Amino acid sequence: MNFNSIKNICCIGAGYVGGPTMAVIAEKCPEIKITVVDVNEERIKAWNDNNLDNLPIYEPGLKEIVQKTRGKNLFFSTDIDKGIKEADMIFISVNTPTKTYGKGKGMAADLKFIELCARKIAEVSTESKIIVEKSTIPVRTAQTIKSILDNVGTGVKYHILSNPEFLAEGTAIDDLHNPDRVLIGGDHDSKEGQDALDTLTSIYEKWVPRERILQTNVWSSELSKLTANAFLAQRVSSINAMTALCEKTGADIEELARAVGTDTRIGNKFLKPSVGFGGSCFNKDILNLVYICKSLNLNEVASYWEQVLLINDYQKYRFADNIITTLYNTVTDKKIAFLGWAFKKNTNDTRESAAIYVADYLIEDKANIYVYDPKVEHPKMIRDLNELNTRDSSINESSLSPVDDPYLAVKDAHAVAILTEWDEFIEYDWEKIFSIMKKPAFVFDGRNILDSKKLTKIGFKVYQIGK
């Protein structure tokens, strides 16, 4: 196979990874027809909505690309069988959440959706295909997929590649347009395997310089994705661990981060202190890594990575606890305004967002929380809290009030907490906010985005991370 033989691509899973990735491939390869399929009818309907503001995923630059390509060479459909049948190449982009039951509960990745995809492909395919694992998965999952395809299939030939996605939400389109590297794992040792590797390489080569496309064996590719996420999360936990020490010693975390980050061996990226990392990947992937290590009896390695998660939990707890302690040891019946609910700015994604855990902790102390987030839908916030299963959902509903107007959230509040680093929060009229809040007016800046000197001058009592 070569680039010219790929006329049809199907992607199973129209989520945060599948949707934007396929939109960019469609944009860059107008000669290839791309169909993104999903079992979720609502999601597909939203992807097909005439009003591009209703796409199920918010990413800067995404709707412009969808507008250019949808209906031309990019299609969204629930007809999974047809999508698979027509395709020369199939991307698997379904979710692989942490298992909530049985063996490996709370740690291992749940591969039931991956297996379902493999079985479906085996069942309906009539011609040879390249299968690309996009979902983040444990090492050696390709083997599982291969075993199902070879044993369930009808004699059709498959080539399996691993092509993990490194895009970060909020900058997905930029990351896809201009990736640091594209990683493709495959079977170098056979001619057919190398052909499959080269075919996918030729697609990315349409817009990514060849030297940034790395070919490896499948296992290296799968493990590289887990490792990259573990290293990134570790950096955040490292800087966050130092925030606790800074607060006790009078050192300033921003100065520390600058001093440390200017060492070119360390580098200055991903050293932003925060209320804790969230997102769909870091927590899940580290749990998965820890599980794999434990199951291979590498207990010291498992404990090492587990600490990254423990520090992250500690950071969220510390932030919430500081709010209670500072508000005279109780937040019972006090109004706390949350600015931000998403796990980072420029996304409507809330998976594992620190805001959920901080809210949960404060509600346990009977706080009334009013939340404003520019992109997150209101029912989603309540659902996020309910999913923690901490208490009766009626209590969550009466304790958490999502609002459309930030000034409504802060009116008569005892404290404002910044949970997401949305740029607009910096631009707010903080004099006005001060005038409508209860006094003393506290600000807990969980992202260190506000000008604390300016706020202090207005009259606020300001707490930032690591200061």
Ordered DSSP codes for 279-298:
SSSHHHHHHHHHHHHHHTT-
For ligand UDX, the closer of residues 16 and 442 by Cβ is 16
Residue 332, token pair as written in the block:
């019972």
Query: Is 281 designated active site?
Result: yes
| HSE-up of residue 243 (Cα within 13 Å, Cβ side) | 28
Query: Is 225 designated active site?
Result: yes
Exposed e or buried b for every residue in 73-82, given b needs 16+ CB within 10 A? bbbbbeebee
Query: Is 165 designated active site?
Result: yes
The nearest distance, CB 238 to ligand UDX, in angstroms, is 10
- Residues facing 160 on adjacent strands: 131
Characterize the bridge pairing of strands 8-12 and 89-92.
Answer: parallel
Residue where the block lists tokens 């390489």 = 201
Sign of CA dihedral 378, 380, 383, 384: negative
The nearest distance, CB 14 to ligand UDX, in angstroms, is 5
CB atoms within 10 A of CB 106: 10
The nearest distance, CB 449 to ligand UDX, in angstroms, is 11
Q: How far is CA 359 from the centre of its chain?
A: 20
CA dihedral 148, 22, 130, 128 (to 10 degrees): 90
Find the residue with minimal CB distance to ligand UDX.
Answer: 15
For ligand UDX, the closer of residues 166 and 407 by Cβ is 166
For ligand UDX, the closer of residues 234 and 396 by Cβ is 234
The nearest distance, CB 114 to ligand UDX, in angstroms, is 8
Query: Of the listed 59, 165, 222, 352, which one is catalytic?
Result: 165
For ligand UDX, the closer of residues 201 and 347 by Cβ is 347
For ligand UDX, the closer of residues 17 and 246 by Cβ is 17
Chain contacts with ligand UDX (rule: CB under 6 A)? 12-18, 38-40, 43, 93-96, 113, 116-117, 134-136, 165-169, 229, 232, 236, 270-272, 274, 277-282, 343-344
Helix-helix angle 112-124:141-152, to 10 degrees: 30
Specify the DSSP element, H or E, that contains 85: helix 80-86
The nearest distance, CB 136 to ligand UDX, in angstroms, is 4
CB atoms within 10 A of CB 177: 15
For ligand UDX, the closer of residues 135 and 401 by Cβ is 135
Three-class SS state of 133: strand
For ligand UDX, the closer of residues 357 and 372 by Cβ is 357
Sign of CA dihedral 210, 212, 218, 220: positive
The nearest distance, CB 191 to ligand UDX, in angstroms, is 29
Closest CA to 317 of 280, 279, 287, 275: 275
Going through 128-243 in order, the beta strands assigned E by DSSP cover 129-133, 158-162, 182-186, 213-217
Query: Of the listed 134, 225, 284, 345, which one is catalytic?
Result: 225
The nearest distance, CB 5 to ligand UDX, in angstroms, is 26
Query: Of the listed 10, 11, 117, 281, which one is catalytic?
Result: 281
Q: Return d(Cα 53, Cα 38) in angstroms, integer.
A: 20
For ligand UDX, the closer of residues 8 and 227 by Cβ is 227
- Residues facing 162 on adjacent strands: 133, 185
For the chain, counts of helices (H) and of strands (E): 19, 14
The nearest distance, CB 197 to ligand UDX, in angstroms, is 20
Positions annotated as catalytic residues are: 165, 225, 281
